[in-house]
Chain A
Amino acid sequence: MECQEQYPAVRPVDWLASEAMKSRIQALSEYLAVYRAEARDRRRARNLRELRHDIRRLEAWRWYLDAARRQPRWWHWLRVVSAALGQRPHDPLRRAGKRRQGMLRLSAYSVIDRAYAALMEDCQGCLLALSLRRDGGDPACRGRLADRVAGLNQLRAQLADEAERVAVICAVLGLVQRCASWFGLHPGALPTVGS
């Protein structure tokens, strides 16, 4: 197992988050390719729609994470807006009245959380495979994998704290991505420099 290549030395947590999004998008895109070929009945067509929706949300969140490194103007604006709109309601009655919004938020949260969990389980699977080797595997590699697991645990805890804010970000960037695709633009091609 090429651990050194596969798991480079400690990376900031946002890299790890972006990597989790990337690998989950890839996995869901593979499911999508299979479903697309067979989406003949209603159940499969619904799965196809749900998969596309999940992929869009993951792409939106990945876009936000990648932009965090450059911090363009729109990113600062979105951060402020999402913090304002995505506050947790303190009043339980108000909260109950926002059931639909709450479901959307929970859904965005669970899609992203699943992506973090999937990468974490991959790392843990790797740790188990290393443990079964006679030499126990390279200690440095084991250390890096353990760091990644800890980083992903940290990301999941952080995500749970800001689930509402994440849902707002995914909704806004998802809408921008949709508009961009209507005009035939790839989200990566959208203006980023100080925009």
Chain B
Amino acid sequence: MNHHSWQSRGALPRVFSLADLKRFLGADEQTAMATALRWLESGQVRQIAPPRPVFIRLGAGELPDERDLCLALRRTFPAVVIVGGSALWRQGASRERDLLLDCAVSGATDQCHLPGVRLHLRPDGWLAAVSRAHGLSGHCHEVPLLSAEMAVADAAAFADVWVPDRSSLDWQRLSAERVAVAQRALQSIRA
């Protein structure tokens, strides 16, 4: 065990940024970078979505729990939102659970090294349009969720997220009027 390992200090969180690492080590920039690189090369740590400077401690084949997953997403993408079937299930509007957590992000990213997550790119202005139309409702470990109606409208508009079959949806929880409002809000940014 080298003297920079978090086990010996016991305080570096599971999800951490480069700034956290610098503070934790109390070392200069070069030392922090060298340490991060060594951990990344050894596979003890993953860079969540390169080049964003946020990392997660994760062993090979290990799956993070939903709390860590959401924390990692929130720290990597400030405006991450849970969409599609993942939002519908967490809103209680679907009886079918998602296999992967579908999330919308605004910044382009080549890859995401978080198991169990699928990212979907949304255009500039998407979050503002969703927010104006009151399309966010509730959280999952502080990651905002699309409202059930907005999740349906968003899935129809972008056609890139998983949604359950119609028969698995709880239609009593979905307002057709609000779905129409959400669709109109999204049309403005699709146009």
> A192: shortest Cβ distance to chain B, in Å?
26
Out of B29, B47, B135, name the residue touching A129 (CB < 8 Å): B47
Cβ-defined contact, A131 with B37, below 8 A: yes
Q: Is B130 an interface residue (CB 8 A)?
A: yes
Chain B contact residue count (CB 8 A cutoff)? 28
Q: Does A121 contact B (CB under 8 A)?
A: yes
CB interface residues, A 112-136, toward B, < 8 Å? 117, 121-122, 124-129, 131-132
Q: Is the CB of A128 within 8 A of B131?
A: no
The smallest C-beta distance from A128 to any residue of chain B, in angstroms, reads 6
Q: Which of A33, A121, A129, A153 contacts B50 (CB 8 A)?
A: A129
Q: Could you tell me if A125 and B131 are in contact, using CB atoms closer than 8 angstroms?
A: no
Indicate if the CB atoms of A129 and B136 lie closer than 8 Å.
no
A-B contact count (CB 8 A): 71
In the assembled complex, the Cα of A132 lies from the Cα of B51 at a distance in Å of 11
Q: Give the distance in Å from the alpha carbon of A127 to the alpha carbon of B134 in the complex.
A: 39
Which A residues are in CB contact (< 8 Å) with B54?
125
Query: What is the chain A residue whose CB lies nearest that of B129?
Result: A33
Q: What number of A residues sit within 8 Å (CB to CB) of B?
A: 22
Which chain A residues (72-128) contact chain B, with CB distance < 8 Å? 117, 121-122, 124-128
A interface secondary structure, majority:
helix
Q: Please, how many angstroms separate the alpha-carbon atoms of A41 and B94 in the complex?
A: 28
Given contact pairs A34-B136, A132-B41, A121 touches B19 in the complex (Cβ within 8 A): yes
Interface of B is mostly: mixed
B79: Cβ under 8 A from any A Cβ: yes
A27 within 8 A of B: yes
Does chain B have a CB within 8 A of A66?
no
Residues of A within 8 A of B19 (CB): 117, 121
Residue interface bits A46-86, CB-to-B below 8 A is 1, else 0:
00000000000000000000000000000000000000000
Tell whether B67 is near chain A: CB-to-CB under 8 Å: no
Residues of A within 8 A of B127 (CB): 30, 33-34
Would you call B53 and A33 a contact (CB within 8 A)? no
Asked if residues A128 and B40 are in contact (CB atoms below 8 Å), the reply is yes
Residues of B within 8 A of A (CB): 17-19, 29, 33, 36-37, 40-41, 47, 50-54, 78-79, 81, 106, 110, 127-128, 130-131, 134-136, 144
A1-B110, A124-B33, A125-B50 known; 11 other A-B pairs, CB under 8 Å?
A1-B51, A30-B106, A31-B78, A34-B78, A34-B127, A117-B19, A122-B52, A122-B53, A124-B18, A128-B36, A128-B50
